[in-house]
Amino acid sequence: MFKKLIIILSLSTCACYSQAQVWTKMLDSVPGFFQVATHVVDTVNNVLYLGGSINTANNKACNGIAKYDGNTFDSLQSGVQGSWGFVQSMQMFQNKLYVFGSFNYTGKYNCKFIGRWNGSSWDSVNFKPNSPVLHSDVYNNELYVAGSFDTISGIRSNNVAKFDGVNWHDLSFPVGGATTAIKNYKGKLYLASYTGLWCYANNNWTPLADSKGDIFRTIYGMTVIDSLLYIYGRFNSLGGVNSKGIVAFDGVKWYGFGQGMSYSGYEIINNVQKIDGKIYITGNFDKIEGISTSSYTSPIQNTNYAVLENNQWCLKSSAFDNEACGVVKYNNDLFIYGAFRKCGADTIFGFAKWNGGNSTVACSNTFSISYTYVGVSEQINFSDLKIYPNPVQNKLFIRTDAFLNAEYAITISNSLGQIFYSQTSLSSNNEIDFSFYPTGLYFVKVESNHRQNIFKIVKE
């Protein structure tokens, strides 16, 4: 059973106001399927790049990617083409724009799944991943990518690799199948598959948490806000906290934000951003913390956009007729983007600007924040092995009769791999003084000639 602390806050009543148009249309029209799926801001040249399935932007043929300078849209030559022609992720890295997705060409060059824009033209690079690259992150002057590939730039690399600007490096991820998100946090790399989360540190991968939910459960993305790693997507719980669709992690504890989304269909949180002290979520969802602006008259519209402030979720606009994929602040303006065509009665085509008005439609009751320790229980039981208490303050006990019948060793290390305790002469009752250990997460490795197991414990 997880150890939980519940912080109960005072309740706030719902505030409801009349609704006016809050989004200003930025695109005149869009043909066929149109979706802005991702963005990145080039802060050096003050350019906003938009990626997705973008056919045209105000009469500019864009083919998957467009740039916006605050006044006009422009193409990046002939954009990305072939396959689906869809841009899934982008990063500014070493003053160039790296573009990832499902495509065969960038401009005139055969650059499958990865392209590079130097500010004025596409570079003739071909990193040759054999399947799409869908997720990316930049950390410590290195570019990290993830997807469904198993080779990149001629090296074997199972779903995840890093690029130092010259060479690609395999990170030896031990699990097959597509990955769904990647993010560096506190010097460690976090990688999500459809149902689980992994941590990479000291050249080792460790399974961190499995998401709970139905067969469609997915970790869809991660972002670092202040001192927390936010993880979002479609799940009932992650790390032991029941907060549908969104949780946070500080390296030791998991945090939940009320009940999260409700499930009335296939609902998902696509993106989480902090702007001007508020946390914005976008996606395809009906209710968040029990409140909704959804409408089931024609056209059917879902809430899809909410703001977290003062421990309550607030809805700031009418519902959308299709998913919202993210928000971005650019030139002091707030923009929303996605696959929508309507917000309430207003027509907006996939990219719109907040008009600055006060338009709170509804706010939830103030909710409680709960947390659980990372992957630990009060007492660990494995066969007849018992490790307790967990979390520990002073004495840690490790007990089993198996230590009397075979050669076993115990090693205790922290999350950086530093060894704090090692012992091979074991009795059935072992007592370890934890009183002088720093607070944090530790790994207890119990091994024999036949097997080894690693258990997580927390020092309070």
Work out the number of other CB atoms within 10 angstroms of the CB of residue 80: 29
pLDDT band at 142, cuts 50/70/90? very high
pLDDT of residue 188: 94
Same domain, 20 and 63: yes
pTM over 0.85: no
Same domain, 301 and 446: no
Q: Write down which residue in 371, 396, 417 finishes a domain.
A: 371
Regarding predicted confidence, which is higher, 232 or 175? 232
Same domain, 313 and 449: no
Regarding predicted confidence, which is higher, 194 or 256? 256
The DSSP code sequence of 75-96 is E-TT-EESTT-EEEEEEEETTE
pLDDT band at 262, cuts 50/70/90? confident
What is the C-alpha separation between 295 and 261, in angstroms, rounded?
Answer: 16
Same domain, 349 and 417: no
pLDDT of residue 194: 76
The answer as to whether 384 is a domain residue is yes
Q: Write down which residue in 329, 349, 371 finishes a domain.
A: 371
Tokens linked to 174: 């031990």
**Average pLDDT of the chain?**
88
Count of structural domains within the chain: 2
Same domain, 290 and 389: no
The answer as to whether 351 is a domain residue is yes
**Which residues are within 8 A (CB) of 269 and not within 5 positions of it... i.e. 6 or more apart?**
220, 221, 232, 233, 234, 245, 246, 261, 281, 282, 283, 285
CATH, residue 384: 2.60.40.3080
The answer as to whether 412 is a domain residue is yes
pLDDT of residue 140: 96
Containing domain of residue 326, as a range? 8-126+211-371
pLDDT of residue 450: 61
Same domain, 42 and 120: yes
The answer as to whether 155 is a domain residue is no
Does pLDDT of 297 surpass 60? yes
Does pLDDT of 298 surpass 90? no
Q: Write down which residue in 309, 340, 371 finishes a domain.
A: 371
Summarize the confidence of residues 230-243 as an average pLDDT. Answer: 92
Summarize the confidence of residues 279-295 as an average pLDDT. Answer: 95
Taking a C-beta distance cutoff of 8 angstroms, is the pair 444, 454 a contact? yes
Work out the number of other CB atoms within 10 angstroms of the CB of residue 195: 18
pLDDT of residue 358: 64
Does pLDDT of 386 surpass 50? yes
pLDDT band at 388, cuts 50/70/90? confident
Does pLDDT of 349 surpass 90? yes
